[in-house]
A and B are shown apart, each in its own frame.
Chain A
Amino acid sequence: DAGVTQSPTHLIKTRGQQVTLRCSPKSGHDTVSWYQQALGQGPQFIFQYYEEEERQRGNFPDRFSGHQFPNYSSELNVNALLLGDSALYLCASSSDGLPSTDTQYFGPGTRLTVL
């Protein structure tokens, strides 16, 4: 049973560019959440997708957008990259059966460096 997978592992971009990160949830999971983990910090919630729609969003600008596909996989897009966007981007999946009590499983993350 494959866990949460993310691609790519590492990515280097320059300021102003755009980036797309990808996530495949754990088998049987239908909800995908994205987090940003800056160096020395805990993960911060970006947004969550369920049934191909953004269900809730954290305190991130509109430059951060996402998508969920019918197979539950998801993409995170960041436009007009800033130096401060350099971070580890984590994807977490869960099942929506019991929204308040289920557990999120995390992928290995994508390390984004913006130069």
Chain B
Amino acid sequence: AQSVSQHNHHVILSEAASLELGCNYSYGGTVNLFWYVQYPGQHLQLLLKYFSGDPLVKGIKGFEAEFIKSKFSFNLRKPSVQWSDTAEYFCAVNTGFQKLVFGTGTRLLVSP
């Protein structure tokens, strides 16, 4: 069965620090990959997505992710985090017909 692993369950950073959240998936076919964010008290929002083409994908709020097919990875990065980036981040893979398989999430706390 398809699965998504997010290795960091909790991350604490100071403002202006760089961020990298790991995501690995297990699926041998063509995948579409997503990062969703859930800010405190808000619903899941799309941060960025990869369907095809350039493996370096840029999303909203300065986030980017790199798809490395050989490593089955789709890591999320941001060069300089802000306090407002405090949220829970979910990596997800769509293996067909929009059925998303999510990771367990990473809680990011950015201290001012």
The number of residues on chain B lying at the interface, defined by a beta carbon within 8 Å of a beta carbon of chain A, is: 25
Q: Which of B13-21, B68-76, B78-86, B95-103 contacts A (4 or more CB under 8 A)?
A: B95-103
Q: A94-115: which residues lie under 8 A (CB-CB) from chain B? A: 94, 99-109
Instruction: Report the Cα distance A33→B44, complex, angstroms.
Output: 14
The number of residues on chain A lying at the interface, defined by a beta carbon within 8 Å of a beta carbon of chain B, is: 27
Q: Could you tell me if A105 and B46 are in contact, using CB atoms closer than 8 angstroms? A: yes
Known: A41-B105, A103-B46. A56 touches B97 (CB 8 A): yes
B60 to chain A, nearest CB (A): 13
Chain A positions 75 through 109: 1 when the CB is less than 8 Å from some CB of chain B, otherwise 0: 00000000000000010101000011111111111
- The chain A residues found within 8 Å of chain B, CB to CB, are 31, 33, 35, 40-45, 48, 55-56, 58, 90, 92, 94, 99-109
- The chain B residues found within 8 Å of chain A, CB to CB, are 4, 30, 32, 34, 36, 42-46, 49, 51, 90, 92, 94, 96-105
